[in-house]
Amino acid sequence: MTAAVSAASSAPLATRGLVAGYEPDLPIVKGIDFTLAPGEFVTVLGPNGAGKSTFVKAIAGLVPVHGGTLHLSGEEITDEPRHALVRKGLAFVPQTENIFATLTIRENLQVAAAILPKAERQQRINAMLAAYPDLASRPGAIAGGLSGGQRQMLATARALLVEPKVLILDEPSAGLSPKAVSEMFARLVEINRSGVPILLVEQNVRAALAIASRAVILVDGLLRHDAPAADLAADPDIGRLFLGAHADGAALAGEGTP
Partner 1 sequence: MSGQILLEGLLAGAMIGLGAVGLTLTYSILRFANFAHGELLSWGAYLSLSLSLAIGAVSGASLAPLDPFSVSAALILAGLLAMALTAVLALAVDHLLFARLRGRGATAIIVVMASFGASMALRSLLEFLYTSKPAYYSRELQIAMPLPGGIRATPDQLLLIGLAFVAVIAVHLLLTRTDLGRAMRAVSENPALAGVVGIDTAKIVRAVWIIGGALACTAGTMSGLLVQIRPYMGFDLLLPLFAAVILGGIGSVPGAMLGGLIVGLCEALAVQTIGAEWRAAVAFAVITVVLVLRPTGLFGRAA
Partner 2 sequence: MSLEFLAYCAFFLTVALTYAVIVLGLNVQWGQTGLFNVGVAGFVAVGAYVSALLTSPAVEGRFGGLDLPILVGWLGAFVAAGLLSALIGWMTIRLRADYLAISTFGIAVTVQLAVLNLEDVTGGPFGISLIPRPFGDLAGRSLAFSLANLALLVAVVFGLYLMLQHLAKSPWGRALRAIREDEMAAEALGKSPRRFRIEAFALGGAIMGLGGAAQAHFIGFIAPENYLPMLTFQVWAMLIVGGSGNNRGAILGALLVWALWAASSALVEALAPAGEQARAASLQTVIIGVALCAILLFRPQGLLPEPGGARRRLPFLRRWRGTPAATTGSDRT
Point out which residues bind partner 1 (CB under 8 A): 60-62, 81-87, 92, 94, 97-103, 107, 110-112, 114-115, 158, 162
Pick the binder of partner 2 from 1, 2, 25, 81 (CB under 8 A). 81
Instruction: Yes or no: say if 16 and 68 are a contact pair by the CB < 8 Å rule.
Output: yes
Q: Minimum Å distance from CB 31 to partner 1?
A: 25
Span near partner 2 by CB under 8 A; candidates 93-101, 109-117, 227-235, 246-254: 93-101
Q: Minimum Å distance from CB 51 to partner 2?
A: 7
CA 215 to chain centre: 13
Which of 49, 9, 13 lies closest to 29 in space, CA to CA?
A: 49
Q: Is 54 in the site for partner 2 (CB under 8 A)?
A: yes
Span near partner 2 by CB under 8 A; candidates 8-16, 88-96, 158-166, 235-243: 88-96
- Residue 248: CA count within 13 A, CB half-sphere: 15
Span near partner 2 by CB under 8 A; candidates 94-102, 124-132, 148-156, 227-235: 94-102
Q: What is the strand order of the sheet 75-76 is part of? A: 29-36, 13-20, 65-72, 75-76
Which run of H or E residues covers position 21? none
Instruction: Mark out the alpha helices in the chain (DSSP H runs).
Output: 2-10, 52-59, 82-87, 105-113, 118-131, 133-136, 148-161, 178-193, 205-211, 229-234, 236-242, 248-250
C-beta closer to partner 2: residue 90 or 129 = 90
Q: Is 232 in the site for partner 2 (CB under 8 A)?
A: no
Q: Is 48 in the site for partner 2 (CB under 8 A)?
A: yes
Instruction: Yes or no: say if 15 and 33 are a contact pair by the CB < 8 Å rule.
Output: yes
- Binding flags for partner 2, 97-116, as an x/- string (CB under 8 A): x-------------------
Cα–Cα distance measured from residue 40 to residue 218, given in angstroms and rounded to the nearest whole number: 18
Pick the binder of partner 2 from 5, 9, 22, 228 (CB under 8 A). 22
Q: Is 80 in the site for partner 2 (CB under 8 A)?
A: yes
Give contact residues for partner 2 (rule: CB under 8 A).
Answer: 22, 28, 48-54, 61-65, 79-83, 94-97, 171, 201, 203
